[in-house]
Amino acid sequence: DPANPGNNIVYQDKLAVGQIFSANEFKCCVGLGEETSGPTKCCTNFSVTDNNKQICKLPKGADLSVYFNRFVSGEGAGAEQPGGGLDDNDFIGETGEPKLSIDVNNKIVALGTAHCENGSVRKGSAFGFYFAEPNSGFYQQDGPIEESKFFSIIDSINDFDDDNDVGATTFIGGFRWNHHFYCD
């Protein structure tokens, strides 16, 4: 085994840490879109009231690309899910991350629309068309000032790209990576 060239083993009773997993006990949680008696019963630890019922949802700011990672949660899988659900071909095998494709993006948006508390989804804000920083308050550019913007990573609290609704404010608000989807 390349990961264990010395073929060393350690027995559980020889470790100084307590047992994490149990051989015969497990706890379940209530999945997305299902009725619950309270938010702590939800896998997401969050619920909303809908028609006098508590329904498990994802809160604003939840990173859908992380939550629907196959190694983080099994939710979103199955053809009965919104958008047709995620299947084995929709994930990067080594990381469990959803693949970057239009088809997978559409599935994640459909899942987010169905399961986010506000029913809306957005992308992150790390990259956009921003003015170069640092500057002394002016831009030496022949032509319109908009030509002074470059596609770049956020480097100032003044960065804002209104054409794509990205910038420092949304980035600081937790909507980080442009290739990730978030509950809005």
Query: Measured between alpha carbons, how far is 130 from 176 in angstroms, rounded to an integer?
Result: 15
Query: Measured between alpha carbons, how far is 85 from 183 in angstroms, rounded to an integer?
Result: 17
Residue 55, SS3 per DSSP: strand
Tell me what pLDDT residue 19 has: 61
Split at pLDDT 50, 70, 90, the class of 109 is very high
Tell me which of 98 and 12 has the higher pLDDT. 98
> What are the beta bridge partners of residue 121?
183
Each domain of the chain, given as residue ranges in start order, spans: 25-57, 127-182
Q: Do 9 and 20 touch, CB atoms closer than 8 A?
A: no
| Predicted model pTM | 0.73
